[in-house]
A and B are shown apart, each in its own frame.
Chain A
Amino acid sequence: MNAPTPNRVNEFNLHVATVNGSGSQTANTTLLRSIFQMGVPVGGKNLFPSNIAGLPTWFTIRVNEKGYLARQKANDLLIALNPETAAADIAAMGPGSVTVVNEGIPLPAVPADRTVHVVPLTKLVEPIVPDARLRKLVVNMVYVGVVCHLVGIDPEEVDRALAAQLGRKQKALAVNREAVRAGLEYARANLPTAPFRIERRTLTDGKILIEGNTAGALGAMFGGVTFVAWYPITPSSSLAEALQNYLERYRKDPTSGASTYAIVQAEDEIAAIGMVLGASWAGARSMTATSGPGLSLMTEFVGYAYYAEIPAVIWDIQRIGPSTGLPTRTSQGDLLTVAFMSHGDTKHVMLFPSTVDDCFKYGMTAFDLAERLQTPVFVMSDLDLGMNVWMSEPFDYPEKPWDRGKVLSDEEVARLGKFERYRDSDGDGIPYRTIPGQKHPLAAYFTRGSGHDEQARYTESSETYPRVMDRLSKKYDTARRLAPGPVIDRAPRSNVGLFCYGSTAWAMEEARDLLRADGIETSHLLLKAYPFHPDVRAFVESCERVYVVEQNRDAQMASLLKMDMPDLAPRLRSILHYDGLPIDAVSIVEGVRSLEREEVSVR
């Protein structure tokens, strides 16, 4: 058939609407990888329900030559396979969009400027797969073939992507290939191509596709993790599971074949953090991964670790709260909970990875910081970063050795002739520790969550308690310069600052370009850690207005900023996004524009 002139190249969103458990994962990964193999940047986002099978699920592939990978609200190509959501899915498509709908799904009325193709996907697969159950899975590969034709994906790349995934399962590979061909042939014969398409580029050469949780797991492994305790919870489970898979493969002792690590699935998150503290106290590099409800359970032990000064690495893959909330939707809503987690005066160190490369790096950095500072360190990822597929440069091998912090050996204890567990000998608030099992009779000490003095002895003294607490504050100040500093991009002729952290960085980068095209220049600060590095204050001071963009209702980061620099509070404005879907650039642009308009009208 005659194709209309394609008017957009390497810039569109493909949205696949299916039912959870229908096996669309292989098909979607195949599409994602095929485009990636054609050298065009892609990102994949999985919007899934808290359910094993039967509820609606969506997978969106953003194709973008400029490398923008944040979510966009509008989609260009829809594959509607779920009868339950088809009407709403189709209604959400805008002008110029193309929809492929499986034959048999009732169609709503569609305006003339939108294209809908009814394709007999199920019928096409019938002759290929006689088994009805298997057919339900393979039908997904038919739409892969249809999409190939519509947007010009090279079928050979589909073949390669399929072979990479199913290489060892020859029979499955053959059936899937046939299904792709059936879809492709049908589409070639019956459908015009879409007004947007893929053209080969070399923009993905050497790059990798990976989820943040997998990247974090790799970072932990190369950072020398020796102990992991965890309890299954979405969206953090895949971090622990990826770590287990990699450790099993790469961390066996070459002579004995035994593991140079231990991983324990605990009975709950309280036990998970307890095990981490026990192992860390006894000298292992220990971590856990969890999400909001798990953090709530860990709270008491986290306060203990702060006061008794025990290193711990805690990955928080944030999801929507409060309570069970939306377990499979993304959020940046745990900041205030974590910053002051547990009763009494407590404050904690947080790292904010915004890319999969950050996840890899912080997988190591978090251990170094936790052991250097002898305190829990939280890596604040989220569902979007952790569970979605991101394109990245390959990770660099760590060149630095690990930092195990201030540990005194028996020889050093003997040389000093004394050991005081909680004495600040260096003026940075960080004491020295010994490791259980050390033989020197002065090395042992008594760890407790109750009041203690510099010698770790029990005390309720009203002189000692504030002295110890003040030293802990001093240690916290030391953390400001030890933790990764912010990434600042200053626009010389702008007094407007944008401020974000974590996965929001992707929409932010795109939003700044859109604003720039609109004549609004902005400076930008991408926060990497809390407590705030001194450069953060300097940045806010240098701007007249700072828009703090974050994915929660209560402006949690802005609150932390206001606490830290109350004199600068009037400069801070919030742009908030908390519908559970990853933030998009247009939301930021609109937020900035409308607040800037207010600014002008007030004057």
Chain B
Amino acid sequence: MSTAATNPVPGPPPGAAKNRIGLTQADYKGSKSTLCPGCGHDAITNSIVTAAFELGLEPHRLAKLSGIGCSSKTPAYFMSRSFAFNAVHGRMPSIATGVHVANRELQLLGISGDGDTASIGMGQFVHLIRRNVPVAYLVENNGVYGLTKGQFSATADVGTRAKTGRVNEMMPIDLCALAIELGCGFVARSFSGDPKQLRPILKAALSHRGTAVIDILSPCVTFNNHEGSTKSYDNVKEHDAPLHDVSYVPAHEPIMVDYAPGETREVRLFDGSRVTLKKLDHDYDPSDGMRAMVTLRQAREEGKFVTGVLFANPEKPAFDREVGMVEQPLSSLTLEQVRPGRSALQEIMTSLRTGAGAPVSAGGG
């Protein structure tokens, strides 16, 4: 066997824990990260690895998709046994749409950034949500363009200062508020520095049948981690305002945590798994989109980052239902299934000969 194979399959370390499909956590890893040491994105990558391992995802059933930017490089750093499509800048949603339609059995994990989504990719992001293409869409949001060395992105907060000293005066685009407005069925915000919250949210997003948007504040240690930046690690940590304690319960497991009645809210997902949200200071109802918008608006005015499951409507039908495709993935249809028979061509030729029932027309006019 060639040692130069594309994806070397590492053997599990002796005695490593195995998940329900017999894989170890190492089986969910990728190649070594080339991002700056301490980058928030690497923390997210680690959370993805753990979440995928704990969920027992089958690597071949998941496709990793991304655009361009620091965040979009990260699919190389996890799950190397999964297929990946690192697309052009801002256009991952269209790739996701095509992949989903070709093979509805594939689970899609999209990794994007604030530049990739909120600026160049805004159009495709919006239409992905509108179609409700099943994809867990992660925005690794640091408020700057990292790969091009620190320009503001469209999620930069008003008054935040760049490393160069420039101050942003323009309103940030709140991707969560936008997603809720568009009727997205699962919208969450989290923080790369809070894996305890991020992991269950990732699991929930991967279990949701529809577009799931997670906006993850992920400080850029090189270009946006200084004093005066609202998206520095310290500032996010200080102003992180969790709405609830999030936990994820897989479909095959009973709820183990015992909460007092009225203390939790539960969201049931497509595959039978559940997200439980334990009340903190206030009760928060994730099915109330209006409330979510008000909460986001208030938080912005107070300079806080509300994190948790902001909105959930798991019942919304996903895109493949809208399109009306056969159950079998289109990619696996045989020639016999997709080439109409001789009689069909004959019928069409007759209609074109006689002019009856033919969609042929003389164009406009």
Contact = CB atoms under 8 A, between A and B. Distances in A.
Interface in A375-434: 387-389, 394-395, 397-398, 401-402, 417-421
Interface residues of A, number: 107
Contacts of A48: 363-365
Contacts of A164: 354-356
A458 B353 CA distance: 55
Interface of B: 1-2, 4-7, 9, 59-61, 63, 65, 75-76, 80-88, 91, 93-103, 105-106, 123-124, 127, 323-327, 329-333, 335, 337-340, 342, 344-345, 348-349, 352-356, 358-365
A284 interface: yes
Contact of A283 (B93, B103, B127, B352): B103
A210 B325 contact: no
Interface stretch (A86-94, A262-270, A518-526, A576-584): A262-270
A226 B338 contact: yes
Contact of B1 (A277, A279, A417): A417
Main secondary structure of the interface of B (DSSP, over half): mixed
Given A218-B348, A271-B91, A456-B6, A44 B106 contact: no
The 3 closest A-B pairs by CB, nearest first: A278-B98, A274-B94, A283-B331
B120 to A, nearest CB: 10
Nearest to B63: A436
Given A222-B339, A278-B98, 16 more contacts: A29-B362, A46-B365, A211-B360, A211-B363, A227-B98, A242-B359, A250-B340, A256-B327, A258-B326, A260-B326, A260-B337, A282-B331, A284-B331, A437-B106, A442-B7, A455-B5
A57 B360 contact: no
B63 A275 contact: no
Nearest to A256: B326
A282 B82 CA distance: 13
Contact of A278 (B2, B96, B352): B96
Interface of A: 18, 20-22, 24-25, 28-29, 32-33, 44, 46, 48, 57, 59, 161, 164-165, 167, 206-211, 214, 218, 221-227, 229, 238, 242, 245-246, 250-251, 253, 256, 258-262, 264, 266-268, 270-286, 300-301, 304, 328, 387-389, 394-395, 397-398, 401-402, 417-421, 435-450, 455-458
Contacts of B356: 164-165, 167
A436 B9 CA distance: 17
Nearest to A285: B338
25 contacts: A29-B355, A29-B362, A46-B362, A46-B365, A48-B365, A161-B355, A208-B349, A224-B338, A258-B326, A260-B326, A271-B93, A274-B94, A275-B95, A278-B94, A280-B98, A281-B99, A282-B98, A282-B331, A286-B102, A300-B91, A301-B88, A419-B5, A446-B83, A447-B85, A449-B87
Contacts of A300: 88, 91
Contacts of A277: 87, 95, 98
Which one of A389, A443, A448 has the highest number of Cβ atoms from chain B below 10 Å of its Cβ? Answer: A448
B202 to A, nearest CB: 21
Contacts of B354: 164
B18 to A, nearest CB: 16
A30 to B, nearest CB: 9
B59 A444 contact: yes
A491 B83 CA distance: 55
A266 B365 contact: no
Contact of B60 (A214, A387, A443): A443
Given A260-B333, A284-B101, A439-B60, A388 B363 contact: yes
A207 B353 contact: yes
Contacts of B358: 210
A421 B6 CA distance: 8
A81 B99 CA distance: 52
A337 B26 CA distance: 47
A20 B63 contact: no
Given A283-B332, A394-B353, A229 B362 contact: no
A285 B338 CA distance: 10
A24 B365 contact: yes
Given A258-B324, A450-B86, A389 B60 contact: no
Given A208-B353, A258-B325, A284-B331, A275 B97 contact: yes
Contacts of B100: 278
A281 B98 contact: yes
Contact of B7 (A18, A24, A285, A444): A444
A24 B323 CA distance: 36
A117 to B, nearest CB: 23
B330 A284 contact: yes
A266 B94 contact: yes
A159 to B, nearest CB: 12
B356 to A, nearest CB: 4
Contacts of A267: 123-124, 127
Contacts of B365: 18, 20-22, 24-25, 28, 46, 48, 57, 59
